[in-house]
Structure 1
């Protein structure tokens, strides 16, 4: 019997956990030919999420959990779980039940057909601010696609099934500034796309505000491409060339009797513009240097306060 781990990152989801347990139990009853583990990663929740998970683990031997020492963020919580997966396959699913567990059956069928990464692509997003988030998401993926030679998956989240060799590949990525969605594309292997309609949250509020989404986008771009540095170089060359031509023009035009004039306003505009370009270029360079600085410290990605292993058996591979 093959083993499958359902990895669930959790951060302040006490209101939805009872329904999640119920849905997962119903799903596994309808999928009897596999041994399942429910691996919960408590990412420093400040509510009763961890105590609910720990209590449920006493009733359900399939439940394992990792209680991180503090909130490290979802990206780190996922790699903490991936590091502890021992099964033949892994399914990453959010705790808020926007990703339906019933779709995992279709993922498993494609996995059995030989696919290593079966990922779910959203048909819609039932959110109030649908238009703005959808448009910014399109811009982000378009920029990322054009700035890297890696085929980035569009309109996909973390909801996917990964074969054992994908799990072992992901365990080799140890950078602290992570964008797992781009890493999924980077590792390659045989992929299969399926479509689904994402459900609204059953309770609580989304943890992803615009600030966190912007940080994730910057991490994705700076982790997988040096295009911003190249753009800064090209832009600087263009500005320097224009400035050189302008200087030649200023030197030549008095020979034709054209007065140079005071030009204080235009001079200030040029100075401010060039200063802005320099600061922007320094900021781009600083983003990369800052990441080098963080990575050279070789700090652990996460610290575990408590770990409980369920009854999952180690994979036969």
Structure 2
């Protein structure tokens, strides 16, 4: 059986289109299907659409959160609920082409392949500033982290049960799925396809959300920022020591201790800024540790298709 996990946040327009697109190629897939829609605290009629699909088709399941917990929590919940021998993750907006599924299933039949991933061949239609920062993020993360991530890789991938079980063992609160998929290892082959626009609705991913998401990825999979903060701190101390020696020598030689106040203020402001930067980096890591030690649940369920049947 193939489990199709679909995180949904305000996707009332796209859910029916996605379901129809997959059903259209169901015979080509050649396996029994299990839909797992995860309603991540949507404010529109997404849940109503999921209830309707679940009442019409027994292969449609859904999980509805008590509030918005984020896509990472939705992915984890879907993986945890999946029962299939093969599991795929797809977006409801059809930016992940369902017609690739038959080819992906054929590829994963190779015993040497544990995962078939997808990546965008281009970023056509995406704002240039977003494309630039996305490319810079992948370039940076692959230089400072031992976990390599593919530029343009999508969450859309087909995984074996063994790989899914390995991912579920990583029950950390602060999740970055692109990194987790890579960290667990397993042999992955990629399929490229041209970038696609959403079929309906509006994306919930603003530039600021993507920026914060990229920061989470860096913090979760690299300690390089901490090393940089330590280096900057050490360099500042050495530079400050040399500056103090020069100031004392100049005062003894020229007897002019009052001169140089502008430069002194600039130095103080510069060092103060470096200290705040380093404290911010350290604080980011401490904040992640703080959230992990709380041991809060990754998500809270409010409703499933089982509760719908019991009413």
Q: How far apart in 2 are the matches of 1:211 and 1:139?
A: 15
Q: How far apart in 1 are the matches of 2:254 and 2:39?
A: 76
Q: How far apart in 1 are the matches of 2:123 and 2:189?
A: 21
The one of 13, 16, 23 aligned to 2:14: 16
**Structure-2-length-normalised TM-score:** 0.94
Runs of at least 5 residues in structure 1 that lack an aligned partner in the other structure? 310-317
Deviation at 1:186, TM superposition (A): 0.4
The one of 298, 304, 308 aligned to 2:305: 308
Deviation at 1:274, TM superposition (A): 0.5
Q: How far apart in 1 are the matches of 2:65 and 2:59?
A: 20
Indicate the residue corresponding to 2:121 in structure 1. 123
Runs of 4+ in 1 over 4 A off after TM superposition: 254-261
Deviation at 1:125, TM superposition (A): 2.5
Indicate the residue corresponding to 1:141 in structure 2. 138
Q: Report if the CA contact (8 A) 1:126-1:198 is conserved.
A: yes
Q: How far apart in 1 are the matches of 2:254 and 2:287?
A: 52
Deviation at 1:259, TM superposition (A): 4.7
Runs of at least 5 residues in structure 2 that lack an aligned partner in the other structure? 307-311
Q: Report if the CA contact (8 A) 1:40-1:66 is conserved.
A: yes
Deviation at 1:154, TM superposition (A): 1.7
Higher deviation after alignment, 258-267 or 57-66: 258-267
Q: Report if the CA contact (8 A) 2:141-2:148 is conserved.
A: no
Q: How far apart in 2 are the matches of 1:268 and 1:297?
A: 42
Indicate the residue corresponding to 2:222 in structure 1. 225
Higher deviation after alignment, 106-115 or 94-103: 106-115
Deviation at 1:308, TM superposition (A): 2.5
Deviation at 1:228, TM superposition (A): 0.6
Deviation at 1:256, TM superposition (A): 4.9
Q: What do the CA deviations read for 1:103-123 (whole angstroms, capped 9, x no partner)?
A: 111211111113111110101
Higher deviation after alignment, 258-267 or 83-92: 258-267
Q: How far apart in 1 are the matches of 2:251 and 2:296?
A: 62
1:177 aligned to 2:160? no
Indicate the residue corresponding to 2:296 in structure 1. 299
Q: What do the CA deviations read for 1:241-281 (whole angstroms, capped 9, x no partner)?
A: 11111122222235554855521111110010000001111
Q: How far apart in 2 are the matches of 1:254 and 1:276?
A: 27
1:68 aligned to 2:35? no
Q: What do the CA deviations read for 1:285-305 (whole angstroms, capped 9, x no partner)?
A: 111111111111111111111
Deviation at 1:127, TM superposition (A): 2.6
What is the 5 A alignment of 1:92-131? 92-114=89-111, 115-129=113-127, 131=128
Q: How far apart in 2 are the matches of 1:55 and 1:121?
A: 32
Deviation at 1:198, TM superposition (A): 2.3
Q: 1:257 to 1:263 in 2, by over 3 A?
A: closer
Q: How far apart in 1 are the matches of 2:75 and 2:145?
A: 24
Q: What do the CA deviations read for 1:193-239 (whole angstroms, capped 9, x no partner)?
A: 11011211111111100121122111111111111111000111111
SS in 1 for 2:35: strand
Indicate the residue corresponding to 2:247 in structure 1. 250
SS in 2 for 1:30: helix
**Structure-1-length-normalised TM-score:** 0.92
Q: How far apart in 2 are the matches of 1:254 and 1:8?
A: 70
Deviation at 1:54, TM superposition (A): 1.1
The one of 286, 290, 301 aligned to 1:289: 286
1:186 aligned to 2:183? yes
1:200 aligned to 2:197? yes
Considering only aligned residues, what root-mean-square deviation do their CA atoms show, in Å? 1.5
Q: How many residues align?
A: 305
Deviation at 1:13, TM superposition (A): 0.9
Q: How far apart in 2 are the matches of 1:30 and 1:59?
A: 22
